[in-house]
Amino acid sequence: MSDTGSDNPNGDISPTLEEVARQFSAWQANRAKKREPIPDSLWQAAAAFASAIRSSAYSKYQCP
């Protein structure tokens, strides 16, 4: 996978795990309230990533 995303079987560009993790970290650091709901854009990025790769490939990932 490249830093710009990966092609999934549907031909869409999906984010890498590192990109999604960076987006979540940035949101967590800058959110107004601790219990603020996860934005739709982050849910969509996570879903795009998850649909693009096998679960065994990211189930072993450990956040830094």
- Owning domain of residue 45: 11-58
pTM exceeds 0.75, yes or no: no
Sort residue 37 into left (φ over 0), alpha (ψ -120 to 50) or beta: beta
Position 4 in a domain: no
Res 7: pLDDT: 44
Q: Provide the number of structural domains found in the chain.
A: 1
Res 18: pLDDT: 87
> Mean of the per-residue pLDDT values for the chain?
75
Q: Which tens digit of pLDDT belongs to each residue from 17-44? A: 888 999 999 999 999 998 999 999 999 9
Position 6 in a domain: no
Position 63 in a domain: no
Position 52 in a domain: yes
Res 56: pLDDT: 61
Res 25: pLDDT: 93
**CA distances for 20 relative to 5, 15, 52, angstroms:** 10, 6, 13
